[in-house]
Amino acid sequence: MNKIILTIFLTIGLCAQMIDGVAIVVKGSAITLYDIKKEMKLVNISAKNAANNLIRKKLEELEIIERRIKASSDEVYRDIKQTAARNNMSVSDFYEAVRNSNGMSSTELKEQIKQKILSQKLYSSIAYSSVSQPDDEDIEQYYKLHKDEFNHPSAFYVVTYMSKNQSRLQEKIDNPMFHSPDIQTSEQKLQYEKISPELGRLLENTPLSSFSQIVPDGSGGYMSFYLKSIDSAKKNGISTYKDQIISKIMASKREQVLGDYFTRLRLSADIKRIRMPE
């Protein structure tokens, strides 16, 4: 008898702890206090905004389940392979670059890519048919309002430092007078139009007369770029950027449609707020 009573009290205690950890219940699915605190820290936002973000994500997750949307392992691998290729890397080098930059394992990266694909499919099923193509007037207006987005250097003059030994390369960055036979160098002129968008952003974010961060070289080694000079910004007409502008306008329109959709869904969904982080 005493054992039965003890078991009951233990069960009640465990249930209470579980309930204490739940902050919000969305259509029967829980968001915990830990989830909210994690989102607050990750995005550096208030508890209220973190909760709103997580409610939106939870509604998306539930929509994906209800619509039976799937993402196969082949789709995930194809996305990873394409991203690696854009950065002139093998898949294994890309995994290593991700691990070195943010500590994410290949398994975690695959899960993140899977969620991205699921979200894209969901967005397409909700928003695609509701979004009209921009006309020439829309394109011209967007270009006038966002001209700075389309101005970029035409070329970068760099000294590329390459090594199989990442620590030796870091020594060179920390002390430019350091010399090692493990490090090879070459001077290059990198045309903006001929390099990957990721490399373009890396060089644009590198101050003149300084080294870029170390990145994989695509063949099992590492490299860093010393930025010597930049050719002046290249300004082209609107026709050069038409496809890019259309893509940006369509993305903005789709997000507006999705925002409206999930706002309506949220109003009708069964959402219970239990508590918020103190």
Res 278: pLDDT: 74
Task: Please list the rounded mean pLDDT of every run of 10 residues in the chain (278 residues).
Answer: 45 45 91 91 89 92 92 94 84 83 83 90 78 86 82 87 90 88 90 81 89 83 91 70 85 85 90 88
Is there a contact between 213 and 224 (Cβ–Cβ < 8 Å)? yes
3-state secondary structure of 7: helix
CATH of 152-234, one of 3.90.1170.50, 3.90.470.20, 3.10.50.40, 3.90.1150.10: 3.10.50.40
User: In this predicted structure, what is the pLDDT of residue 159?
Assistant: 93
H runs (alpha helix) in 146-185: 166-174
Instruction: Cite the beta strand spans of 74-219 per DSSP E.
Output: 152-153, 155-163, 183-191, 215-216
Domain definitions of the chain by residue range: 2-62, 152-234
Average pLDDT, the chain: 84
Torsion of CA 90, 96, 100, 103, to 10 degrees: 130
